[in-house]
Amino acid sequence: MATVELTFSALPAHVRTARLVATAIARRTGVEESLLDEVRLAVGEACSRAVEAHRAHCPGEPIRIELSDDSGRFEVTVSDQAPSDEHEHDRPLDLSMLSDSYTSGFGIAVIAGLADDVEVFPSPKGMRIRMSWPASANGRAG
Amino acid sequence: MDLKLDHHNEDRLTIVEVEGEIDVYTAPRLRELLIDLVNKGNFHLLVNMEKVDFLDSTGLGVLVGGLKRVRAHDGSLELVCTQERILKIFRITGLTKVFGIYASVDEAKEAHGRDK
């Protein structure tokens, strides 16, 4: 299993970098071209959510991403250190309740709609979002 | 790619041209533009997203915020978008039921009865 780890400070500008790194590694791992847009968006959503949560709770702490190829799957885990609401991702869509500056539950809804396999682990010490997509056996990582 | 924004008026419709990536970093600029347009009395907005490479939920939030603002003035905020990867995000979030989405600026103008 090859793993790449990336940590970045909670700045919106770094989310794009994280998206680009994830997409590049997904391609190298053998994720189909047709899925790369989904990887890019889902990883971006997870990182955006983490950045917003850190800016609200712990702006000095870094956000961590682990990217790995594991048994024919490309797996991404985004971990933050901000206390999370267990029911955050269960909020129903309600236009009147949506803020135009922060739509955290929205982001997780998008991830759930995009990633082939998603697990969200909220806790008082931070949230961990693990997502994975199928990768071909002849991916170039190793 | 960064975000490029432009706008012009055609009759009562304000067409907002968006190019590049709308994400947590760039979305505040789009939000500021939409707020500015509404504050200046432009209540019928058409956002052309044909040159948008990337849109995330922060961008969706800005568009929803814009829609709420124009609706407060009996206005409208509609979109031009044919890119499947962008449309998919609107479908996942159920926002295809909230925004009018057109295949072209002309089609949107026609639907408004403002063409010519």
Higher pLDDT residue, B42 or A112? B42
Least CB–CB distance from B23: residue in A48, A96, A110: A48
Average pLDDT in the A5-33 region? 96
Query: Is residue A141 domain-resident?
Result: no
Task: Give chain B's domains with CATH numbers.
Answer: 3-109 (3.30.750.24)
Domain count, chain A: 1
**Contact at CB, A13 and B25, closer than 8 angstroms:** yes
**Contact at CB, B65 and A98, closer than 8 angstroms:** yes
Using a pLDDT cut of 70, give the percent of chain B over it: 97
What is d(CA A52, CA B65) in angstroms, rounded to the nearest whole number? 18
| Contact of A82 with A127, CB cutoff 8 Å | yes
Query: Is residue A44 domain-resident?
Result: yes
**Contact at CB, B92 and A114, closer than 8 angstroms:** yes
- Give the CATH number for residue A8: 3.30.565.10
**A57-90 pLDDT, tens digit each:** 999 999 999 999 887 899 999 999 998 765 454 4
Strand A128-134 relative to strand A73-79: parallel, antiparallel, unpaired? antiparallel
A99 at B interface, C-beta within 8 A = yes
Average pLDDT in the A25-49 region? 94
Whole-angstrom CA distances from B2 to A31, A57, A77, B25, B99 are: 26, 28, 26, 9, 25
Residue A17 belongs to domain spanning: 2-95+104-134
Closest residue by Cα to residue A19 from A8, B59, B63, A30: A8
What is the interface pTM, i.e. ipTM, of the complex? Answer: 0.85
**A106-140 pLDDT, tens digit each:** 788 889 888 879 999 999 999 999 999 999 866 65
- Please determine, for residue B116, whether its predicted confidence score (pLDDT) is greater than 70: no
- Please determine, for residue A142, whether its predicted confidence score (pLDDT) is greater than 50: no
